Amino acid sequence: MTAIRQEAVGQRFDPQRMQYARERTWAAVQGIRQRMRLGISEDEARAEAAEVFRQLGMERLWHPVIIRIGSNTTKTYRERSDPSVRLGENDIYFIDLGLVFDGHEGDAGDTFVTGHAPEQQACAEAARELFHIVADAWRTQGLSGQALYQFAGQRAEAMGWRLNHAIKGHRVSDFPHAVHKAGDLGELDEKPSSGLWILEIQLAHPTQPFGAFYEDLLSNDPA
């Protein structure tokens, strides 16, 4: 389906199954969101997530469940959370899931706010907005992965937020994509193909200790 080495897939790869994994992973994000409650810790939220996955028929995780609350939302996936943080009344949190359905990898993430927290709400909305701006630039301008993240950084600054440049997207495919050693989207010097790459956006408030995260599959179908 592509001549780019970083876009190699397995023999059982099926674009329709990729979309199915995408849809089910987004369903899991919303299922966890419904279980979030005031006072919950990240460890408790991950325990609640296991039941959501069971109900959806998830086959396995392909990356650890990441749920960040409050000040932990500024941390990248490799950084450890402060375990004492719990969800407050006017607070922010994000969910980042990498799940396997029907032998294919889904990866989805979004940020949510509790109570009345206008700055946090603006940050969550900015992460979603920037994702769609960058994804649209990919569709219409044919930008490489490297150019996409350069563009994302410029737009984030213009919007008044800091882009976390350590987060640069990645490959997905039939499980496990890791055998292809594709590297990050932000390192790709060609235009990424539809249905194979996750665009990740992580923003932080310029002065306050919170941030937001949004990710989804780059697809010619924006739905």
What pLDDT is recorded for position 36? 98
CA 82 from centre of chain: 21
What pLDDT is recorded for position 125? 98
Q: How many whole angstroms separate alpha carbon 97 and alpha carbon 99?
A: 6
Q: How far lies 71's CA from each of 5, 29, 130, 138, 210, in Å?
A: 39, 20, 21, 31, 5
**CA neighbor of 208 nearest in space, from 29, 23, 74:** 74
Q: Is 92 helix (H, G, I), strand (E, B) or coil?
A: strand
- 77-101 as b/e, with b when 16 or more CB fall inside 10 Å? beeebeeebebeeebbbbbbbbbbb
Q: Where are the domains of the chain?
A: 5-217
Q: How many whole angstroms separate alpha carbon 223 and alpha carbon 216?
A: 11
Q: Does domain 5-217 have CATH number 3.40.50.970?
A: no
What pLDDT is recorded for position 24? 98
* pTM across the whole model: 0.95
Give the tens place of pLDDT for each residue, 148-187. Answer: 999 999 999 999 999 999 999 999 999 987 666 678 999 9
Q: How many whole angstroms separate alpha carbon 207 and alpha carbon 30?
A: 29
What pLDDT is recorded for position 223? 59
